[in-house]
Structure 1
Amino acid sequence: MYLLELGGENEAFALQEAASAAADVRPIAPGLALANAVSPERVRGLAYTHRASDLVGRTDADPESAQALLEAASLDSDREGTIAVRATDVHGSTGVSTERVERALGRVLVDRGFSVDLDEPDHVLRATFSEGRVPTVDDGRGDRVSVCALGWLAAESVRDFGTRAPTDKPFFQPGSMDPLLARAIANVAGARPKATILDPMCGTGGVLVEAGLVGADVIGTDAQWKMTNGACENLEHFLEVDAPSPAGVERGSWAVGRGDATRLPLADDAVDGVVFDAPYGRQSKIDSHRLEDLVAGALSEARRVASRAVVVADRSWASEAREAGWELEASFERRVHRSLTRYVLVLSGDEA
C-alpha cells in the first residue's frame, strides 16, 4: 500500500492524474490518498502528486498517536543506511508542530537501531498530518477526518516546471497553457513511454513538450503555419536533448505539421490518446457556428483515431463529445481568473 501526497487547488483533478501512475487510488484526507500500487518512474512525471511513500500505517492526527504507531510498526529489517524524518501539516490544517514530530519519531528510529542523517539520508520517513473533508473524484466532499499517515518515501515528482514557463520558451504566444496543467492533461490522456499522443490543435506545442518529457512519442497539427513552426522550435529545444528527461525516461520522438483537426491524415486507432485545447469563444477569431463545427469535427476525428481524449476549453463540450461517440469519464472546472474558467473533459471510448 502506498501513500500519495497531492498538490494543486483541485484535488479531484489531482486524483484523476494520480490514477495514471497508481492503481486503485482513493482519497483519505485533504491532500492525501492511498494506492494499492505505484509506478515510481511515472510518479516522477506527475504534476499534481508530489510524493509516493510505502505506507507504514495511519492513525489520528496528533504527535502522540504518530509516535505510538511507529513504535508498534514492524519496520523493514533490510532498510540499511541512514534515515531522516520529514513531517508535513497539509494546509496547516491540524496545527501540529512538525519539528516536534520529527524529533519524536527520529528518537523512535534511533532506538530501533537506525542512524540519522538530516542532510543526505538513504531513507526518508514521511509523516503527513491532515484534517478536513475527504475529497472525492467527482469534486464532492465526504466526511470530516483527522489523519496522520506514515510512510517511507518511494518516489517524488520532479518539480522543474518553472524552467518551462510559457514566456521563457523559444516560441511564445499569449494564452499558452502553463506546464503544470499541460503535464497533467498529458498524463491523464495516457502519456508514457511507448505511447503516442496527438494534439490536433497544438498551438505552441506545450502539451506535446510535457508528453514527450515523460517518454511519449508525440504528433501535433495546427491550422496555422506560424504555430506549427513555433511548436517545432519548442519541441526541438526541449525534446532533442542527448540526456534522459527530468522524469528519468528517454524523451519521446515528435512530428508536427500543418493540418485540419477535422480531417486528420491518420489511420483509425493510430494513437493512444488525444489532447487539445479548443479555441476560446471570446478570444478566438472564429465565429460561434464555425467554432462549434470545428470542435464537433475535432471530437469526431479524435474518436476515430483514439480511444481516450482530454479536451480543455472555456465551456463544456460534453454534449458534442457524446454525439461524437465518447463517454464522459470525468469533468473538471479550473478557475483561471474572474472572466475565465477552464473546463477539462476526460473522454473514453468503447473498446469493444
Structure 2
Amino acid sequence: MKLLFNLSGEHPELPKAEISAVLEGEGIAYRIHSENEKNRILILDVGTENPLFIKRLAMTKRVGEFIGISKNLRVLAHKLYERISKGTFAVESDSQTIREKLGEEIWRLGFHVDLLNPDTRILCFRDDQGSYRIAIEAPIERDFAERKPQNRPYFHPTSIDPKIARVLVNLARVRKNDRLLDPFCGTGGILIEAGLMGMKLVGYDIDKRMVDGCIENLRYYGLNGEIREGDAMKLMPEEKVDAIVTDPPYGRSSFMTERNIEKFYNEFLLSASKALDPGKYLIMILPDSSDLKTDKFEVKENYSLYVHKSLTRKILVLRRK
C-alpha cells in the first residue's frame, strides 16, 4: 500500500530518518514513491497492508493511505468516492481554501460534513505546481504533552523530552519484545517510550535515587523492567541486549569532575560493545564538540540537535561491527 507522511518541521532530517529506521526495524520493505521537501510530504510504497508501525512515529504530524495526485479536485473527489462507501467526512489541510473546495466536491457526491467527529478524515496538500495529493488519514495518538517530565511522579531537570526519547528509540531499529538498555537511565524517559512500544526494558544508573525514581515513573505508566543500580562502564557480555539507547550524563558535575569527557565516552563505547552483537545499534546524544574514537562501532548516522542559542548537541547512530 502507499502511505502519505506529512513530516514535522522540527528537524530537517530526523522525521524521514525515523520512518526509515522503524520500517527497517519492523522488517517492512519500502520504496519512495514521491517526495516534496518544501511541503514536507513523503509518499512511500510499503510492503504491508496493516501499517501499525505508524503509531510509533514521533516526528510525523499526520499520515494516511495515499489515494492520488491531480490538479483537479473533482477527479480526486471521485477517487475518494470509490474508497469511501458511506459516513461523514472532514478535510484536513493547511489551507482553508483547499478545505472548502475539496469539501464541496465531496459533499456533491452525497457525503455529509462533520468537523468534530467524522467517520473519515481526508488529508489534502497542494504543491507549487498546483498538484493536489490526498490521503485517508490514519489517526496517531501519542500524548507526548501528557508525558512531559514535570507530569511524572519523580522529576529531575535533566530529564529528556519524550518526543526526542521516542525518536532515539526508533532510530535503534528495535521492535516489540526486543531488549533495550539505557545504562544512564535517570528518571526513565527513554525507557518509558520504549516500554509504551512494547520493548523489554533494562536500565542502570549509578545514582540510587534515580533508580528508585525511574521505577516509580515506569509504574506510573503501567510499565516495569530490570532497573537497578549499576555502573555503565562495567557492562558484561552476559548482559546482551538488542539495542542501547541513552543520553549520558555529561552535564552532571559529579561525573565530569572525575573523568575527562572524551575519555568518559570512549570508555563507555568499549563497555557498550560487550553488550551488543554485531549489527545491533547504539544510539546516544553527545555534546556537539565530542570526538569519539572506536573500532567497535561504525557511525551510520549523525544529526545535529539544536537545544538553544548557545547549545547544540548531536545524535549518533552507531552500529556494532
CA distance in 1, matches of 2:238, 2:116: 53
10 and 110 in structure 1: CA distance in 2 versus 1, 3 angstrom threshold? same
Q: Is the 8 A contact 1:183 1:211 kept in 2?
A: yes
CA distance in 2, matches of 1:82, 1:235: 40
Match of 2:65 in 1: 54
What is the 5 A alignment of 1:104-115? 104-115=101-112
CA distance in 2, matches of 1:200, 1:324: 21
Shift of 1:231: 0.9
146 and 310 in structure 1: CA distance in 2 versus 1, 3 angstrom threshold? farther
Structure 2 counterpart of 1:200, from 172, 183, 191: 183
Shift of 1:113: 4.4
Q: TM-score scaled by structure 1?
A: 0.78
What is the 5 A alignment of 1:1-352? 1-22=2-23, 23-24=30-31, 27-30=35-38, 31-37=40-46, 40-59=51-70, 65-70=71-76, 74-75=79-80, 77=82, 79-89=84-94, 98-129=95-126, 148-153=132-137, 155-240=138-223, 253-267=224-238, 270-280=240-250, 285-287=255-257, 289-306=259-276, 307-315=280-288, 317=290, 319-320=292-293, 323-350=294-321
Q: Is the 8 A contact 1:316 1:345 kept in 2?
A: no
21 and 110 in structure 1: CA distance in 2 versus 1, 3 angstrom threshold? farther
257 and 331 in structure 1: CA distance in 2 versus 1, 3 angstrom threshold? same
Task: Give the AA of the match of 2:262.
Answer: E
Q: What are structure 1's unaligned runs of at least 5 residues?
A: 60-64, 90-97, 132-144, 241-252
CA distance in 2, matches of 1:169, 1:232: 11
CA distance in 2, matches of 1:271, 1:128: 42
148 and 216 in structure 1: CA distance in 2 versus 1, 3 angstrom threshold? same
Match of 1:244 in 2: none
108 and 20 in structure 1: CA distance in 2 versus 1, 3 angstrom threshold? same
Task: Give the AA of the match of 1:50.
Answer: K
Deviation track 1:30-82 (CA, whole Å, cap 9, x = no partner) reads 322122227632212321112221112235xxxxx2515515x6446453222
Shift of 1:152: 1.1
CA distance in 1, matches of 2:319, 2:259: 26
Deviation track 1:68-121 (CA, whole Å, cap 9, x = no partner) reads 5515x64464532224242323xxxxxxxx233223212322344444433322
Q: Is the 8 A contact 2:183 2:232 kept in 1?
A: yes
CA distance in 1, matches of 2:154, 2:225: 17
342 and 284 in structure 1: CA distance in 2 versus 1, 3 angstrom threshold? farther
Q: Is the 8 A contact 1:191 1:211 kept in 2?
A: no
Q: Is the 8 A contact 1:200 1:220 kept in 2?
A: yes
277 and 147 in structure 1: CA distance in 2 versus 1, 3 angstrom threshold? farther
Q: TM-score scaled by structure 2?
A: 0.85
The worse-fitting range, judged by mean Cα deviation, of 50-59 and 38-47 is 38-47
Task: Give the AA of the match of 2:227.
Answer: V
Identical columns (%): 29
Shift of 1:324: 4.0
Q: Is the 8 A contact 2:22 2:173 kept in 1?
A: no
The worse-fitting range, judged by mean Cα deviation, of 218-227 and 121-130 is 121-130
Shift of 1:318: 5.9
348 and 221 in structure 1: CA distance in 2 versus 1, 3 angstrom threshold? same
- Aligned to 1:219, the other structure's residue is in SS state strand
The worse-fitting range, judged by mean Cα deviation, of 292-301 and 113-122 is 113-122
Q: Is the 8 A contact 1:279 1:313 kept in 2?
A: no
Deviation track 1:272-309 (CA, whole Å, cap 9, x = no partner) reads 21111122258564238443333212222323323111
CA distance in 1, matches of 2:273, 2:84: 48
Shift of 1:127: 0.4
How many residue pairs get aligned? The number is 307
Q: Is the 8 A contact 2:89 2:113 kept in 1?
A: yes
